[in-house]
Every structure is written in C-alpha cells, then in structure tokens.
Amino acid sequence: MDASLRPPGAGWNLLARNYDARMLRGGTLADGKVVAPERAAELLEAVIEPQDRICIEGNNQKHADFLAKALASVSPARVHDLHVVQSNIALAAHLDIFESGIARRLDFCYAGPQGLRLAQLVADGKVQVGAIHTYLELYSRYFTDLTPRVSLIAAEAADRDGNLYTGPNTEDTPAIVEATAFKSGVLIAQVNRIVDKLPRVDVPGDWVSFVVEAPTPHYIEPIFTRDPAAITDIQVLMAMMVVRGIYEKYGVSRLNHGIGFDTAAVELILPTYAEELGLRGKICRYMSVNPCPTLIPAIESGFVETIHCAGSELGMERYVAERSDVFFTGRDGSMRSNRIFCQLAGHYADLFIGSTLQVDLEGNSSTATLARITGFGGAPNFGSESRGRRHGSPAWLQAGREAHRGGMPRGRKLVVQMVETFREGLSSTFVEKLDAWELMDTFNMPLPPVMVYGDDLTHIVTEEGIANLLLCDTLAERAQAIRGVAGYTAVGRARDRHMVEKLRERGAILYPEDIGVDKRLASRDLLAARSIKDLVRWSDGLYAPPARFRNW
C-alpha cells in the first residue's frame, strides 16, 4: 500500500485488516485451509482485488500451472489491472491474463519461449513492462516496492494445516512466501496431493492461506539435461583449454557452470584429462549449479565434493538422495534447493563460466535476439564481478593481481565466456555491434540488454585460444585480444598481427600450445561418458533419465 494512498484518518494496519477481509471472503469457499480444485477460480475472484500485485510461481523446474489457468479463467469484470511480479513468463496462461485485461503491468526476469508473444503484446499495448530483472534483484524488490499482495505457489504436498513440502524443487518458493506472508499477503498453494503427514516441512502452515489439490501434478521439465552424445571434438578442445589455462592456472575451487554443452564437456573431462593432470582435490571442488546429469562422473570420481542447487532436474531424484554427501538434502532424502542461496554462492564464487550468442570488441556479451523479449535470469549475477566480496581465496587473489597492477590491491572474480567463433548457421559470435542496441530501440528499453558487461568479463575461450582480458591495459588491446581468438570470423580476420603477437608474448592471448594442450588429444574419447546410457552406468543405475533421453 502506498502511504500516499492512505486516506486521512484511516489509521494503520490497513493491509492486515484488508487481509482479514479477503480471508473472510475466501474462507467461505474453504474447508479449513483446503479449497476444492473446481472452486479455484472462485477463490481467486474472492481474494484478489483489482490492481493487486500478484506473483504466479514458476521457474525452471516447477510451475503453479493449475492456478495460473484458474486465474486466466476469472471474470475480468471482477479481477482486472493486476500487476504481475514474477520471475518467469513461461506458460500460455501467464500471457492470457494480459490479453483479457486481468493483468496490465509486468515486472519479471525471463520469458523464454513466450518471448515472441510477449513482444507482440507489448507492441499492442496489452502489457506495460516495468523492468526486466535478474532473479536476486526481483526477489529484493519483493521486500521493497514490489511486494506481492497475492501469491500463487506450487508444492509437492501439503497437510491439512497448510504445511508444505516442496520436495527437491524448492527453487523460488522461500523468497515469494516470505515477502507475501509477512506483509499481510494472501498465499495460495497448489499441491500434487494433500496428505496426513509430510515427509518434511519446507514452508510452515502458519504462512499459508489456502491449499488447493491440483487435478494433475505441477508442470515440470528436464531443462538441464545435456546428452553427451551431442558434444563435439571442438567442445572437448575448448574444455581442455579451460582446465589447463584457467582452472589449473588459478586453482579454481568454487565455481558456477552454465548449462550448455560447452561446460558439460568440461564436466565430462574432469575424470579423464584433469585426473591425469593430478588436479583432483585442487579444482572444481565446490559448485553452485543445478544437478546436471553430466556432473555424475565428476562426482563419482571424487572431483566435485559439494553442489548447491537452485532447483532439481527430472530423473536425478534417486541419485541426489543417495549422494547426500555432495548435495543438500532433507532428512527425507530428497534435495533442498533454493535459488537465493545458489545465486549467492555463485556470485561469491571464484569463477563463473558460461556461453553466449554474441560478443563485441569490448567483451560485452548478450543472448538477447531480435523480435523476442527474453531476459537473463541469473546469468548477470553469476557473471558479474562481486564488488562486495572481501574474503580472499588463491584464485581470487591471483586474478586480482593481474587485474589491479598498481593502485589499491584487491581481488577479482573470474568470469569466462566459452564460445565457438561461428554459431549454427555460420553467423559469427564476434560482432562489431551487439544486436542488443537494436533491441533497445525496438522495445523502447532504457539500456541495451547486455548479459555480461565487458569490464566484468575476464576470459574468452574459443577453439582458437584464450583471451585474458585482465592483462589488457587499453580498450584497443582488449579489442585485439578478442580479435586474436576470433578465428576466421570477420572480426578475427581484421586482427593486427603484430599487436596480437605482442599480446601473446604477455600472456593476454594463449593458444593451445602455449598452455600445454595437445590438440591431437582433443576428441570425444576424452569424455568420461559419451551417452546418457553411460551416465546411467556411472550413477550405478540411480539416474533415471526421462523417456525422451532414452534411446536404448
């Protein structure tokens, strides 16, 4: 409630009194806290008021899809002009409510496949976008100016007191729940089942207003599963360079991996290539990342010792439960994920490594593509220098010595982009100007949507070599270091050979032979697992890949 809207003489605790009124209306539809699924839309009409800020939970691994559809079916005459504040726009229902006028304003993080339709709705004036956030930013605004009035969340199970069990996919729930429940907001949970006794309590019933048993389990998708069969020899070569030229050089032990095939290749050569180099116990010990199946061989080999996850991954449930030394799990055996802590662990880690679609000559990179509104989720947080960090580690201090020569000494986070010089369709990854500039104009954004800024980036790894941007003193040197690993792209061909050679002498450009990487060994043979079936074998049968990944 904006204080400026407080009517004179209205007194205080208006939100709490308003909550009581909503609960009175909603309570007539409930048996205790439990509302029958066929009355879900009626419940939403009873407890949601026009112009409410509302959050429909949904992120990578679970979605309050039943409640989202119920909301899309309410009468726009009763519920309208809502302000949606949620991390993901992923389901058709998330946009249907804008089409019908139930919602009007939107603050979010990530749109994915709905990005095209979202762009159209913005152009049609049906959606007013406030801003596109990273996850932690949006959660932080839940506690300042974007606190939800009503939140629709998803959990695995509930008991009749409203206690919730989220199982392995806790994800965003703690942030949404805490902001809503402790600012007199209404919290409605859809659950797969209502039981007498929960395996564990993830959200205290005190905090929950209503529970609805959905007719079908909440939507979930295996989006972090990468089939090793699709990893190429070139990706293995790049992975070898990462291991020798970055992980070994700096002694990187705490890190966050992106979720592409490039980093999957790194994970899969830990038990082979890195093991031979004697790097076990020295690199890659603590990770914050989803439980990607390609991590299994590195876990089984004793490389990765601890993993904290933002969410879970379909098929990994039993494996995670049986590897509680590595993953965070409850006493019931299932994982406890939490996007806040995973994002924090990644932000303050020694290194982030991911991929991108475009890189310019300052090193700015973006995955934003024309005609869609997407957003970056957590990547800008992982992939940015942690300026508030004060504790040292060998990797952070060594990177800091390279970055801050002269002046106040300090540490530096390693931020690495791992890209092939040409993408599919033979378009160049390296560009003079990012598409982000055009996107800014098209969608009337205040700034170009850059995922990782050039001055946050420390290394670019391509199949040609590694550019170490920390050792570049000027923007001109930085541009040449980037050209020097940009291969046969137009950007790469326009390199100044003399300057590139000087940068190489200084170590600002490293080619495979400079770091002892034998290109002849760069083949899929180095992968500890070459198929999903191999991963199952490594897991001792505990990993149960979803049907679409089984071809045996």
Residue numbers 191-230 binding a copy of itself by CB under 8 A? 200-202, 204-207
Enumerate residues 6+ apart whose C-beta is below 8 A from 137. Answer: 109, 381
Nearest residue (CB) to a copy of itself, 194 versus 445: 445
Which of these ranges, 52-60, 71-79, 339-347, 504-512, lies near a copy of itself under the rule CB under 8 A? 339-347
Choosing from 50, 215, 281, 541, the residue that interacts with a copy of itself (CB under 8 A) is 281
Rg value, the chain, Cα? 25
Least distance from C-beta 221 to a copy of itself, angstroms? 24
- Specify the 3-state DSSP secondary structure of 498: helix
The CB-of-501 to a copy of itself minimum distance in angstroms stands at 27
List b or e across 423-449, with b for residues whose CB sees 16 or more CB atoms inside 10 angstroms: eeeeebbbbeebbbeebbeebebeebb
322: its two tokens: 């049986």
Site track 20-59 with a copy of itself (rule: CB under 8 A), x = hit: ----------------------------------------
Considering only residues 162 to 181 of the shown chain, the ones binding a copy of itself according to CB under 8 A are: 163, 174-175, 178-179, 181
Burial 268-288 (b: 16+ CB within 10 A, else e): bbbbbbbbebebbeebbbbbb
- Give the residue, chosen from 254, 478, 483, 495, that forms a contact with a copy of itself under the rule CB under 8 A: 254
For residues 535 and 296, give the distance between their C-alpha atoms in angstroms, rounded to a whole number. Answer: 7
Question: Closer CB to a copy of itself, residue 143 or residue 488?
Answer: 143
Of 14, 92, 229, 499, the one binding a copy of itself by CB under 8 A: 14
CA distance 288 to 343: 8
Least Å distance, CB 127 to a copy of itself, is 16
Residue 544 CB contacts under 8 Å (≥ 6 apart), including other chains: 315, 317, 318, 536
Q: By rule CB under 8 A, what count of residues binds a copy of itself?
A: 109
Q: Contact with a copy of itself (CB under 8 A): which of 408, 424, 498, 552? A: 408
Q: How far is the CB of 392 from a copy of itself (least distance, A)?
A: 4
Asked if 405 interacts with a copy of itself (CB under 8 A), we say no
Among 32, 392, 516, 541, binds a copy of itself (CB under 8 A): 392
Q: Which residue stretch of 45-53, 182-190, 234-242, 466-474 sits at the interface with a copy of itself (rule: CB under 8 A)? A: 182-190
| Of residues 51 and 531, the one with the C-beta less far from a copy of itself | 51
* Strand partners for 210: 188
Tell which positions 485-544 bind a copy of itself, by CB under 8 A: none
Which span (63-71, 76-84, 373-381, 494-502) binds a copy of itself, by CB under 8 A? 373-381
Point out which span in 46-54, 70-78, 84-92, 386-394 binds a copy of itself (CB under 8 A): 386-394
Q: Backbone phi, then psi, for 365, in 5-degree steps? A: -135, 155
Nearer to a copy of itself, 129 or 544 (CB): 129
- 173 to 5, 168, 180, 257, 463: CA distances (angstroms): 30, 12, 11, 23, 40
193 is written with which tokens?
């089942």
Distance between CA 212 and CA 192 in Å, rounded?
A: 9
The three-point CA angle 442-148-289 to 5° equals: 70
Binding segment toward a copy of itself, per CB under 8 A, in 1-9, 211-219, 221-229, 516-524: 1-9
Comparing C-alpha atoms, which of 119, 122, 210 is closest to residue 158?
210
Query: Hey, which residues between 413 and 472 contact a copy of itself (CB under 8 A)?
Result: 446-450, 453-454, 456
CA atoms within 13 A on the CB side of 267: 35
Q: Which CB sits closer to a copy of itself, 190 or 386? A: 386
Are the CB atoms for 268 and 524 separated by under 8 Å? no
CB of residue 271 to a copy of itself, shortest distance in Å: 13
Nearer to a copy of itself, 136 or 439 (CB): 136
Collect all residues with Cβ–Cβ distance below 8 Å to 110 and sequence separation of at least 6.
87, 88, 89, 90, 374, 375, 376, 377
Which value, to the nearest 10 degrees, does the dihedral of the CA atoms of residues 400, 405, 406, 409 take? 10
The smaller minimum CB distance to a copy of itself, of residues 81 and 322, is found at 322
Under 8 Å between Cβ of 42 and 29: yes
Which residues from 86-115 bind a copy of itself, rule CB under 8 A? 107
Q: How far is the CB of 65 from a copy of itself (least distance, A)?
A: 26
Of 219 and 341, nearer to a copy of itself (C-beta) is: 341
CB of 95 to a copy of itself, least distance (A): 20
184 scored as a contact of a copy of itself (CB under 8 A): yes
